[in-house]
Amino acid sequence: MHSLVKKHYLVTGGAGFIGSQLIRELIKDEDIKVTCIDNFAPFYPRQFKLINIAGFETHHNFNLFDLDIDISTPKVLHDTLTQPVDAIIHVAAKAGVRPSISNPMGYQKTNIEGTQNLLDFAQQTGVKQFVFASSSSVYGANKNLPWNETENLLPISPYAMTKLSGEMAGHVYSHLYGIRFVALRLFTVYGPGQRPDLAIHQFVKSILKGEPIRLFGDGTTSRDYTYVDDIVSGMVSAIGYNQSPFEIFNLGNNHSVSLKDLISTIEEVVGKKATIDQQPEQPGDLPHTMANITKAKQLLAYQPHTELKDGIQRFYDWFLHNKEVLLHY
């Protein structure tokens, strides 16, 4: 039996990699209505995002608005959204550590001012739950692995700084206005729909095209790769979290994989050896990341299940299915 009043969730950046996978999960529930806003920024081709949301447009519980959070004042959002919002899941952002170094003001505008607009909208319209997609990059140069949520935060890129600013803005609004704010520090998310600027996508594409892959550093840097379905399960739990007014959670895999081992796994899945073009280490990149996920396990019942090879196989299957678009941009 369905409730008469559906829950209404606003997902920002909902045509992107993580946002679209979250929406795919949410609209399985007939009692949830999802409004997605996305500005289809030219960071990568619009066609990629249209692949992400293919089939959503005909779903009776889904609405899409082409909006830019930088300039979406509370009034613009209020005029666009005709139904009260129960929760905001804020995934939209200018993404990427390296491009943020050359465009710090652009990142501040989208990631700080955009988040401020959404917090003001939540405050003015009575939204009670705000879930924020933060990033493991806020830990920065901290060598105390695996990181737990109480570590010293030492961001070393403008992108990381803007994500930390978003968390702090959420703390302010939780304190002043009683909005429950849940920040999720995501660790190197991968899987079908992954952005083309990220390593796994780039490596698969280069190997298939017979082009060298660019390896920054000596291959010993490592990341806590987390499959997108596992991340989405944590995000869904965070939407329902109600035990405290402000909370920060790591969503990772609690397991770090070196760049060399990642490339070996991709070679195994693709069935072809990579040609390596070794490059110097990049400024702003972290040497290692690893999440302590004890808190998320305890309070969100979060439990990642996907092994790296299985996740890369699913990404590769998705890539092959969409290769006519993905290989030619």
Catalytic annotation, residues: 159
Degrees, nearest 5: CA angle 307-310-313? 150
Q: By C-alpha distance, which of 129, 137, 62 is closest to 100?
A: 137
Q: List, as own/partner pairs, every contact residues 54-59 make where C-beta atoms lie below 8 angstroms and the sequence separation is at least 24, other chains included.
A: 56/20, 56/23, 56/24, 56/27, 59/27
Instruction: Mark 168-193 as b/e (b = at least 16 C-beta within 10 Å).
Output: ebbeebbeebebbbbbbbbbbbbbbb
User: Coil, helix or strand for 258?
Assistant: strand
For the chain, the farthest-separated pair of C-alpha atoms sits apart, in whole angstroms, at 59
Degrees, nearest 5: CA angle 143-290-155? 55
Q: What is the rounded distance in angstroms from the CA atom of residue 238 to the CA atom of residue 88?
A: 11
Q: 290: which residues sit within 8 A by CB, 6+ positions away?
A: 145, 146, 147, 187, 222, 224, 252, 254, 255, 256
